Amino acid sequence: MNSLRSSFSNLPNALETVAAWFLALFWIAPLVYAFWAAFHPSQYAVHFDIFAPLTLDNLREALSRAPFLRYAFNTFILVTTILFAQLVLCTLAAYAFARYRFFGSNIAFALVLVQLMITPEILIVENYGTLARFDLIDTILGIGLPYMASAFGIFLLRQAFKSTPKELEEAARLEGCGVFGVLWRVYVPLARPTYIAYALVSVSHHWNNFLWPLVVTNSVETRPLTVGLGIFGAPESGVDWSIISAATLMSVAPLLIAFLLFQKQFVQSFMHAGIK
Amino acid sequence: MSRNIMRHVYGWLLLTPAAILLIAFTHYPTVATVIDSLFSKGSAIRPSRFVGLANYAMLVDDPIFWKVLTNNAWFALGTIPTSILLAIAMALLVNRAIPGRSLVRMAYFTPTILPMIAVANIWLFFYTPDIGLIDQAAGWFGFDGHNWLGDPATVLPAIIVMTIWKEAGFFMIFYLAALQNVPPELEEAARLEGSTRWYYFRRVLFPLLMPTTLFVMINAVLNSFKLVDHLFVLTKGGPDNASNLLLYYIFESAFSYFDTNYAATLTVILLGLLAVMALMQFYVLDKRVHYR
């Protein structure tokens, strides 16, 4: 009787497991399909045959039609420049907000938070004009500049710095640390999880960003992967489907592989970043 | 005394580098956009001049403006509630010990880290008439092909389905985080009381997840106004603006029609909408604090 009851109450659980797996398969299918198309000759694009020959021709063809390696290099330079500048600028500003109750700090903080809502790509018209005045159109620095002072980064780091015990700062001061010594030896090391979370969110955001880089760039030397891919995949370009799939996978591969390797870290970072 | 002054000096010095960039790319352009919206479009022979609210009058009479605004509303309505329900379902499904849990969670989350451009590239082929995957599948069941992205009636729903695929997994992680904070005694108590699991979800779990739902909802609405990348690949806003969205229309006005003053006017509307939502967020988050 008891065992019957328990197996009966296990039924919904089993059903849920099946549902979870079914939904997962359904959810990953578009991506699996892109892999299928990218590594098979184009006549197999909608013809699913287990024995279809595998090929790298689509990748080769995509590489020969557009300089994806150069785009990848540009993206790499772009995200590292942005991240480096963000870490420096946001650390300094967050330190000011967390530890110096300076004149006007509340108003200044409110003004910083405005950027959470009004992100630079919404102001494309004016920001394009600003870049043009400084002769920064079609430069990687130009793509990155509007994002370097990130309200989100300042906000996250300020939270982290605020939760650092004041006693540690006082101890460091007694040891003879100055303003930057305290920041570098006490606050920054203790905020490590926040830095990692912010870095992952920032890198994936700027790896994937499209609209603003599209507006700013117009040459192979500056174009990031997303923009290159956007031009490549536009319907009027008339490129074969399998080749587009290959190009798409190449563009997302670095981030996708990083995600698969550090899945837990990624998910936790997005969670950490979203909730605080 | 001197330490007191130093506090202000250090505070401002530390803030200055970030402040310069924030002012240059957020505050100054916001103000400049409002000013530009009050001037006429300049040309070589006729310089731009102050026209008051003339651009706004033009905007009210512009059928495309109303079209993109309605599209934005449908886009938000079509994507957000479904994404949230799916996200809750996903979170509940992977919140318990099931075989292969981390693989399942990965499958749900992976679309989130792809760029919208790549997602659009992948889905473009699904929607291609006749040779695309959906039409092929429909063909096996004897249905005719359909130009999903070329038909004004189906283009927005097609884009909505794609966006749900991209976003649901992202919202899921917020629900997963929230579920971790729900004490397991609640479910036990509910079970001892003999309530069904559906009842437990409806009367206990869902209300407990309400703050998360509000948080996700507001961010999703904000996001829905910023999400236009896919239009560049899929439809260019067409056919006949059936899939056009406000930010894409701003882009077109500025960089295809070179009417930066009209683009500024459209941007002011977008800024206004975002400001309203920001105020709502403050109000909602405020309530959330009292609620706890």
Q: Is the confidence at residue B228, as pLDDT, over 70?
A: yes
**Total residue count of chain B as it appears in this document:** 292
What's the pLDDT score for residue A271?
76
Residue A167 lies in a domain: yes
Strand-pairing partners, residue B50, are B39
Per the structure, how many domains does chain A have?
1
What's the pLDDT score for residue B252?
92
Q: Is the confidence at residue B65, as pLDDT, over 90?
A: yes
Mean pLDDT in residue range B71-95: 93
Name every chain B residue with its beta carbon within 8 A of the beta carbon of A211.
228-229, 247, 251
What's the pLDDT score for residue A8?
46
- What is the predicted ipTM? 0.88
What's the pLDDT score for residue B285?
63
Considering only A6-15, B139-148, B240-249, which range has the smallest mean pLDDT? Answer: A6-15
What's the pLDDT score for residue A237?
56
More confident residue, B278 or A223: A223
Q: Is the confidence at residue B288, as pLDDT, over 60?
A: no
Residue A92 lies in a domain: yes
What's the pLDDT score for residue B140?
80
Q: What tens digit of pLDDT does each residue of A222-276 get? A: 999 999 988 886 655 566 788 888 888 988 988 889 888 888 888 888 777 765 4
CATH assignment of the domain containing A154? 1.10.3720.10
Residue A95 lies in a domain: yes
Alpha helices in A175-262 (DSSP H): 179-182, 188-190, 192-208, 211-216, 225-233, 241-261
Query: How high does pLDDT run on average in chain A?
Result: 85
Q: Is the confidence at residue A57, as pLDDT, over 70?
A: yes
Residue A206 lies in a domain: yes
Residue A195 lies in a domain: yes
What's the pLDDT score for residue B81?
94
Helix B116-127, helix A225-233: angle, nearest 10: 20
How close does chain A come to B121, measured CA to CA in Å? 6
Mean pLDDT in residue range A23-51: 82
Report the distance separating Cα A202 and Cα A193, nearest Å.
14
Q: Is the confidence at residue B130, as pLDDT, over 80?
A: no
CA triple A35-A39-A43, angle to 5 deg:
105
What's the pLDDT score for residue B165?
94
State whether A275 and B174 contact (CB < 8 Å).
yes
Mean pLDDT in residue range A14-18: 86
How close does chain B come to A89, measured CA to CA in Å? 5
Query: How high does pLDDT run on average in chain B?
Result: 86
Mean pLDDT in residue range A111-132: 90
* Residue A35 confidence class, pLDDT cut points 50, 70, 90: confident
Residue A231 lies in a domain: no
**Residue numbers of the domain that contains A266:** 74-223+252-275
Amino acid at A170: E
Name every chain B residue with its beta carbon within 8 A of the beta carbon of A95.
14
How close does chain A come to B278, measured CA to CA in Å? 7
State whether B18 and A252 contact (CB < 8 Å).
no
Among residues B116, B236, B159, which one has the least CA distance to residue A209?
B116
What's the pLDDT score for residue B158?
92
Q: Among A138-142, B47-51, B209-213, name the most confident range.
A: A138-142
Domains and CATH numbers, chain B: 53-291 (1.10.3720.10)
Mean pLDDT in residue range A57-70: 85
Residue A209 lies in a domain: yes
* Residue B29 confidence class, pLDDT cut points 50, 70, 90: very high
Name every chain B residue with its beta carbon within 8 A of the beta carbon of A124.
250-251, 254
What's the pLDDT score for residue A4?
45
Contacts of B125 (CB under 8 A, 6+ apart): A37, A45, A241, A244, A245, B132, B133
Residue A36 lies in a domain: no
Name every chain A residue with its beta carbon within 8 A of the beta carbon of B110.
27-28, 31, 256, 259
Q: Is the confidence at residue A164, as pLDDT, over 90?
A: no
Q: What tens digit of pLDDT does each residue of A179-204 get? A: 888 889 889 999 998 898 899 889 98
In this prediction the pTM is 0.89
Indicate the DSSP class of residue B50.
B
Mean pLDDT in residue range B103-127: 89
Mean pLDDT in residue range B90-94: 91
Mean pLDDT in residue range B268-283: 86
State whether B122 and A270 contact (CB < 8 Å).
no
